[in-house]
Amino acid sequence: MPHTVSIVGAGRVGRTLGKRLRESGWRLGAVVTRSLSTARAAVRAIGAGEPHSALNCQSMESDLILLTLTENALPEVAEKLAALGRDECRGKIVLHTSGVLDRTVLAPLAKQGASTGSLHPMQTFGGRAMPSLDGVVFGIEGDAKARRMAHRLARELGGVSVRIDGTRKPAYHAAAALVSGHALGLVEAAAAILMDIGFTRRGAVRALLHLMRQMLDNEERLGPQAAWTGPIARGDYEAVAKHIAALRDYPREFSESYAALAVLSGRVLSKEPSATLKQLESVLNTSTGGQK
């Protein structure tokens, strides 16, 4: 008999996981959001489930309860579910999908006898499109029963599970944020510079994504040393100084971020980090002032 799953917080992540689980044979129970219209929309996107505009006893009726809510709502929702579920909690598995929090946020449910853990897809879910989960790494942690379920879910969703120490989740999530949200900030800042010198937005984004894709391909195929190009890799610190001078025409975060990333690249990519950092320090120390 297939298992049942409730989705509490059916936004971008909840809809995608719900739909993929339905496709792999799970039965959908309650689909909970904060209004009936968003709950109905989520049920349509998932293709099954019972829409609810608030937490209620039905939320805890499934074998598995996936809490795909924003982090700040998790403590209150865990408290409410534990109060609603009471004895129903025993034997249930509750997993959340936060990257930064571990299972301790679900302590009220664990106290009532539920198995608790987290299952974080290292994937970005933006807008309405549901991204592929094939090959996606799911960071998992929790008690033994919750981990077994998280491992099974990751596999059924087409991904791979990696066990993480719950106390290291902030570091785990910082790594993901560096290459996802923060890298997007870099693309937008670089696009703004290109647009300032005459590119159209479309042309700027196309040029930068082309460059980035090849860099990512080189990293994957050749490894970081061979993939590293640009002035710091060549030891051309005059070019670095010219970059910093040019970036003074932009808000100060542009040159500050450039400087911080130059140092980071020197630290993690250079074969001789201390020599590279010393050179960078002298260039960066002489290139300050006159910011917007």
Ligand X SMILES: NC(=O)c1ccc[n+]([C@@H]2O[C@H](COP(=O)([O-])OP(=O)(O)OC[C@H]3O[C@@H](n4cnc5c(N)ncnc54)[C@H](OP(=O)(O)O)[C@@H]3O)[C@@H](O)[C@H]2O)c1
Chain residues 186-205 in contact with ligand X, contact rule CB under 6 A: none
Contact 116, 143 (CB under 8 A): yes
Among 33, 62, 161, 276, which residue interacts with ligand X (rule: CB under 6 A)? 33
Query: In whole angstroms, how large is the CA radius of gyration of the chain?
Result: 23
- Nearest CA-CA partner of 171 in 141, 143, 201, 151: 141
141 vs 28, 80, 163, CA distance in Å?
24, 23, 6
Instruction: Based on the shown chain and the rule CB under 6 A, indicate whether residue 32 belongs to the binding site for ligand X.
Output: yes
End-to-end CA distance of the chain: 65
Instruction: Based on the shown chain and the rule CB under 6 A, indicate whether residue 13 belongs to the binding site for ligand X.
Output: yes
User: Which positions from 113 to 152 touch ligand X by CB under 6 A, shown as an x/- string?
Assistant: -------xx-xxx---------------------------
Of the pair 175, 211, the CB lying nearest ligand X is at 175
Contact region with ligand X (CB under 6 A), list: 3-11, 21-29, 83-91, 282-290: 3-11
Element (H, E) at 257: helix 252-269
Among 24, 70, 225, 288, which residue interacts with ligand X (rule: CB under 6 A)? 70
Alpha-carbon gap, residue 186 to 197, rounded angstroms: 17
Residue 125 CB partners (closer than 8 Å, separation 6+): 12, 13, 16, 131
Instruction: Based on the shown chain and the rule CB under 6 A, indicate whether residue 110 belongs to the binding site for ligand X.
Output: no
Of the pair 137, 207, the CB lying nearest ligand X is at 137
Instruction: Based on the shown chain and the rule CB under 6 A, indicate whether residue 97 belongs to the binding site for ligand X.
Output: yes
Among 18, 29, 85, 99, which residue interacts with ligand X (rule: CB under 6 A)? 99
Residues that bind ligand X (CB under 6 A): 8-14, 32-35, 38, 55, 68-71, 73, 77, 97-99, 120-121, 123-125
